[in-house]
Amino acid sequence: MDAIKTVHYNKPKLKGSLRVPGDKSISHRAIMLASIAQGRTVVKGFLDGEDCLRTVEIFKRLGVSIERNGTDVVIDSPGMENWTSPTKELYAGNSGTTARLMLGILSGSKVTSILTGDDSLSKRPMKRVTTPLHSMGAAISGKEGGDFLPLSIVGSTLEGIDYNMPVASAQVKSAILFAGLNAKGETIVRETTVSRDHTERMFEQFGVKLERDGNIVKIQGGQSLTGANVKVPGDISSAAFFMAAAAMIEGSEVQFVDVGLNPTRTGIIEVLQQMGAEVEILEKHGETGEPYGVVKVTHSRLEGTEISGEIIPTLIDELPIIALMATQATGKTIIKDAAELRVKETDRIAAVTDELTKLGAKVEATEDGMIIEGPTALVGGKLQSYGDHRIGMMAAIAALVSDGPIEIKDPSCINISYPDFFDHLSHLVLARNEE
């Protein structure tokens, strides 16, 4: 992909049906659990985006055989007790999920390793994971007290803990549960607000017993895993970009097939409905494992809304595209309790505010969110992606509702979670007129 991409559509409408690529969070976990288990796991619908490929490369370095054929992946693992210490660093690239979950996994393994990441990931906080892991007995060290990558991890014997999580984060919860799987005794994680529960669901698919009660998850250490067949549904966080576009643009109607409908991720559907978009769930499947189905989104006049509290973890990655949608809605949209946005691939509150303001939107950044006043007629402009896939995709969708072309700097970061994004955009846009 070129260093700059110009996107311009003349009065577009989005129509048709789309299967977005596999869920990023579930794809990572499928490779992780398959590699911990002994034997064969077959994964269907895997996301071959850059972040998930980093996870694949890491496990290959630990001695796991992973064969990919498109979105089908076959994993043959000797089991984590037979992994070999890598001769090279384990590189997590841009992926926070890879880094944080690997810290939990490697801490209780028998291998010694060094975990690194790209510039953005090396600035993201790791202490939220290393603090509870250290109290379980993990031997993780690095500069600045182990708050940032690179970190060295010497696999150790761990003890279970009872941990009250200060932030709602599926990555922190998952890292502790992975460590708890290999710890002596029981590990208990208590969340303030329930975050995405893909780790818990997939543990159960691989035969691990967990106790779940509201915000509390308990795991007994020493359980062994058996290979499984895993189906990865489409990623609702990727679909969200086109859901928002269909909701904003008159004459649009899009069906999303095989899209993930895990209730810890469907906040975007609630917000679309709250703002007045027509959203219908036409089918729902997957009573065991991960729910998925068919969702139809039709344009309707949008109104501003307030998004805060418990819904935030269920749509945290959708807030950039929701902010864009709010620029086209009547009235004020207030986003609160989302300070976590400041420690993602970039500071997403600053990035969204700066980039949408360049297009003429009325957006004010607050400490833990944004206030957006709409509707505003957006103009074209030159936008930065900040190397953040979600900001890059928000910029591309902004081109559908702006008056002139939008130039996106460094659009290749979109490959992190959605390599087919621009093809899918062209597929859905009638009256195509890309420059």
Q: Which residues bind ligand SPQ (CB under 6 A)?
A: 24-25, 51, 95-97, 169-171, 174, 195-196, 316-317, 340, 344-345, 390, 417
Say what the alpha-carbon torsion angle 144, 146, 151, 153 is, to the nearest 10 degrees: 140
Q: Provide, rounded to whole angstroms, the least separation between the CB of residue 84 and ligand SPQ.
A: 26
Instruction: Report how far residue 121's alpha carbon sits from residue 209's, in angstroms, rounded to the nearest whole number.
Output: 32
Nearer to ligand SPQ, 238 or 402 (CB): 238
Least Cβ distance, residue 180 to ligand SPQ (angstroms)? 16
For the bound state, the minimum distance from the C-beta of residue 416 to ligand SPQ, rounded and expressed in Å, comes to: 7
Q: Residue type at 147?
A: D
How many angstroms from the chain centroid is the CA of residue 13?
Answer: 27
- Interior/surface letters 326-358, b for 16+ CB within 10 angstroms, e for the rest: bbbbeeebbbbbbebbebbbbbbbebbbbbbeb
Q: Which is nearer to ligand SPQ, 195 or 402 (CB)?
A: 195
CB 277 within 8 A of CB 299: yes
- Toward ligand SPQ, which CB reaches closer, 332 or 342? 342
CB of 387 to ligand SPQ, least distance (A): 11
Residue 77 or 169 with smaller CB distance to ligand SPQ:
169
Catalytic residues: 317
Q: What is the DSSP annotation of 176-243?
A: HHHHHHTEESEEEEE-SS----HHHHHHHHTT--EEEETTEEEEETT---B--EEEPPB-HHHHHHHH
Phi-psi region of 58 (alpha: psi -120 to 50; beta: other; left: phi over 0): alpha
Does the N-terminal peptide bond of residue 375 adopt cis geometry, omega within 30 degrees of 0? yes
Half-sphere exposure of 109 (CA within 13 A, CB side): 27
Nearest to 275 by CA among 238, 247, 255: 247
Closest-CB residue for ligand SPQ? Answer: 96
* Shorter beta-carbon distance to ligand SPQ: residue 258 or 345: 345
Nearer to ligand SPQ, 25 or 41 (CB): 25
> What is each CA distance from 2 to 115, 122, 233, in whole angstroms?
30, 25, 30
**Dist CA 332 CA 302 (whole Å):** 11
Least distance in Å: CB of 376 to ligand SPQ?
A: 26
User: What SS3 class is residue 66?
Assistant: strand
Shortest distance, CB of residue 28 to ligand SPQ, whole angstroms? Answer: 6
Amino acid symbol at 38: Q
Q: Which residue type does 435 have?
A: E
Output the CA torsion sign for 24, 299, 380, 271.
Answer: negative
Q: One-letter amino acid identity for 296? A: K
Question: In angstroms, what is the minimal distance from the CB of 94 to ligand SPQ?
Answer: 6
User: Closer CB to ligand SPQ, residue 258 or residue 318?
Assistant: 318
- A 10 A CB-CB count for 253 gives 15
Q: Is 337 helix (H, G, I), strand (E, B) or coil?
A: coil
